[in-house]
Structure 1
Amino acid sequence: MDRLALFADPGILIAALFSLPLFSLVIAGFIAGLVLAFSRSRVAEEAGSDAFSGVTATRFRPEVLTLSIGAIAVIIGCAVENIVRGYVLNLTDIVEWWQFATPVFAVLLVTLTLLGVIVLRRRTPDAPVLSTLRRTWASFGSRVAFIGAGAIAVTLIATTIGAGVASSSDDRGRFIYLSIPVPNTEISSLELWFYGWSFGVPVLICTAFLIAAVWAVLHVNAARPFLRPETVASESTMRAGIATATARLASAGMLLALGGAWRFIARSGTASQLGIEGDPNLYDTTWQYAELAVLAGWLAPFAEIAGFVLLLLVASRVRRTRRPQPDASDIAAGADDVEKSANR
């Protein structure tokens, strides 16, 4: 009967679909496809148009591959975790903290791998590049991406700390409950599973390590030497792309964790009535932050969709930065540039 009502009411069906993280992934796939289709004609070749662009693209190819394959791995990991946890394992009375920490931890692993690739592949320049500019972690990349990642990190941390403070412990010392009082009655407070400290502390730890790893990647990406004076422009463009993709990757992991946390908070914090077996009356329950819990429930699918869209855009970088091999004219032009530079 409930299933018939679900399909009879489109609103209930849509709400049920948007409550599924995997449905958010499907929607994100359509959005990312549209973004890539509309931006394809406007996206310039990221390695520039100089004679050494092929050399630049080859140098940065491992970093691009790491980001793209890593983004795909994060998507697969989150999907597998959701399916196994939701449909395979029996997790009754188990604190499933990993469902919120998984996307952040997965992105952390990708970021650390990228850091290792950059550090291990550092090389001395082919020709000295004299520059008085001081390069820092913020020298390359999109300011919008950096500010967005910072805002998402602050929101995730604030949500986790706020929910942890509001949570209460069970008889085993696990902070997994939200106690909602039932006013004007002698009924004990309603205790519902909630995004408390037992769920949030692993997320905070992973987020802290992720922030440090992202900063390290941005720093070494900016500080490593340029190959030669002629490639500064194209290398700067590639470094900016890597820095932006790293910030987007971190934002995606935190958005997925945030969406899951908001779903959990909404599931518990929006309870408004309590029914007792054998008692025909319904008792009102009140939580002072119930309105915020409702808002979190509405925003959760959008956070998940945005996270998956960012992952798909990062995964598409391999296609967008693929460059043809330089032809003979490119090589000759490059040789001429080197000769002119030497004569100077």
Structure 2
Amino acid sequence: MSYLLLVLQSPLILATIAIVIFLFARRGRTAETVVPGRSAFMRSVAVTGSVAVLIVHLAVQFFPVLDLAQRYLLPNLNVDFTPEPWAYAWWRYPLPLIVAVVVLTIVTVRVTREPVVVEAPVLSMKPRGWTSFASRKELASAASVLGALVSVSLFAGVHSITDRFGLHTLVSGPRPIGVTDASWDEYGASTFYGWAYSVPVMILAVVLAAQVWWVLRTISVRPFASPESVTAETRERTRSASIVLRLFIATVLLPLGGALLLIGQTAMYPSVISVDSADYFVPLGYASFAGPIAVAGAVLQGAALLMLVAGIQGKRSRVSSPELVRS
């Protein structure tokens, strides 16, 4: 099981898979005409946003590899790519979310400031809301991954303990009966997805969700240009909503998968602690489920990677009618 996890989370393997998928996806593709205006902008959001999130995630995964290479190949080079594996690194989980927040901030500004040109009023039989152009399946997926991330973050945070710097980055196994040594919590603890990681992740995920809501609402409530453009504009708004939701889902899956990986791996490798001249085997209460939890985390991160690559190589919009240009 540990070997499988090593393979699944290897940054080199993740990068290789991403490149191979991208190259195969590009084979046999012909150049397509990109629609100017909103369609071209949202296409650039899909590509640029996916590339940015993917690169940042792989960079975070590669930091330990670079640090290991530097320590063994260039020991005299005084550069720390990452702290010790058990040390607190605030960027370990929230960096992809920060990138997505920046991308959606740009989208929000662009969509909000985009001028509305109404050539002829369009009467709507029912009011449009923020879900009018969004896929029900994608909305359900977005809500599910957000709920899962918040639930895992709260669960892990509640069960975490502080390290010597006062940060909730550790988890401690149950104290054996009869052991009163105050150092147990320090030496019997393991690195964990505690409040120090989960709070920034939850805050950024909620901010990202609020941005997605605002973009979907803005896209939905804008008036149509004319009755003749309703079909084309509906198609473009549906495509735009899908781009935003898919970027959100993929981005949230990355810290969710990373959290599950750490939670699972922490329980898979219990500590042996010597207290009062006795050795204690320190398993966590969920150790029997640690393997599936870690594998689930690796699979979720793999799914996020595939979604980001799909966003990079997704089909461009074709000019099928003049109405598309006016949308």
TM-score w.r.t. the length of structure 1 is 0.77
Find out whether 1:294 has 2:291 as its counterpart: yes
Out of 144-153 and 293-302, give the one that drifted further. 293-302
Select which of 50, 60, 63 maps to 2:39. 60
Preserved CA contact (<8 Å) 1:24 1:304 = no
DSSP 3-state at the match of 2:170: strand
* CA drift at 1:128: 2.3
Preserved CA contact (<8 Å) 2:173 2:284 = yes
Q: Which residue of 1 aligns with 2:217?
A: 219
Distance 1:108 1:268, change over 3 A: same
DSSP 3-state at the match of 2:107: helix
Equivalent positions of 1:184-203 (< 5 A) are: 184=177, 186=179, 188-189=184-185, 190-203=188-201
Given residue 222 of structure 2, which amino acid in structure 1 is its aligned partner?
R
Out of 217-226 and 183-192, give the one that drifted further. 183-192
Cα distance between partner residues in 1 of 2:154 and 2:229? 46
Select which of 87, 100, 122 maps to 2:66. 87
Given residue 93 of structure 2, which amino acid in structure 1 is its aligned partner?
F
* CA drift at 1:82: 2.8
* CA drift at 1:185: 6.1
Cα distance between partner residues in 1 of 2:123 and 2:111? 22
Equivalent positions of 1:245-256 (< 5 A) are: 245-256=243-254
Q: Could you list the per-position Cα deviations for residues 93-151 of structure 1 after superposition, in whole angstroms to 9, with x for gaps in the alignment?
A: 64212110011221121112111121122322233222232111100121111100110
Given residue 10 of structure 2, which amino acid in structure 1 is its aligned partner?
L
DSSP 3-state at the match of 1:274: strand
Cα distance between partner residues in 1 of 2:137 and 2:22? 18
Distance 1:13 1:284, change over 3 A: closer
Find out whether 1:23 has 2:5 as its counterpart: no
Preserved CA contact (<8 Å) 1:28 1:305 = no
Find out whether 1:314 has 2:307 as its counterpart: no
Q: Could you list the per-position Cα deviations for residues 243-286 of structure 1 after superposition, in whole angstroms to 9, with x for gaps in the alignment?
A: 11211111111101111111211222223451659x8x863323
* CA drift at 1:24: 3.1
Q: Could you list the per-position Cα deviations for residues 201-259 of structure 1 after superposition, in whole angstroms to 9, with x for gaps in the alignment?
A: 11011011011001001000111122221111111111111111211111111101111
Given residue 105 of structure 1, which amino acid in structure 2 is its aligned partner?
I
Out of 188-197 and 14-23, give the one that drifted further. 14-23
* CA drift at 1:21: 4.0
Preserved CA contact (<8 Å) 1:97 1:200 = no
Given residue 95 of structure 1, which amino acid in structure 2 is its aligned partner?
Y
DSSP 3-state at the match of 2:169: strand
Q: CA RMSD in A?
A: 3.2
Select which of 85, 91, 97 maps to 1:98. 91
Preserved CA contact (<8 Å) 1:104 1:254 = yes
Q: Which residue of 2 aligns with 1:164?
A: 157
TM-score w.r.t. the length of structure 2 is 0.81
Structure 2 gaps, min length 5: 68-80
* CA drift at 1:295: 2.3
Out of 119-128 and 182-191, give the one that drifted further. 182-191
Distance 1:170 1:58, change over 3 A: closer
Preserved CA contact (<8 Å) 2:11 2:62 = no
Preserved CA contact (<8 Å) 2:160 2:195 = yes
Which of structures 1 and 2 has the bigger CA Rg?
1
Cα distance between partner residues in 1 of 2:141 and 2:11? 22
Find out whether 1:137 has 2:130 as its counterpart: yes
Q: Which residue of 2 aligns with 1:271?
A: 269
Select which of 148, 159, 165 maps to 1:155. 148
DSSP 3-state at the match of 2:172: strand
Q: Which residue of 1 aligns with 2:53?
A: 74
Distance 1:55 1:302, change over 3 A: closer
Given residue 302 of structure 1, which amino acid in structure 2 is its aligned partner?
V
Identity of aligned residues (%): 26
Structure 1 gaps, min length 5: 1-10, 46-53, 335-344
Q: Which residue of 2 aligns with 1:303?
A: 300
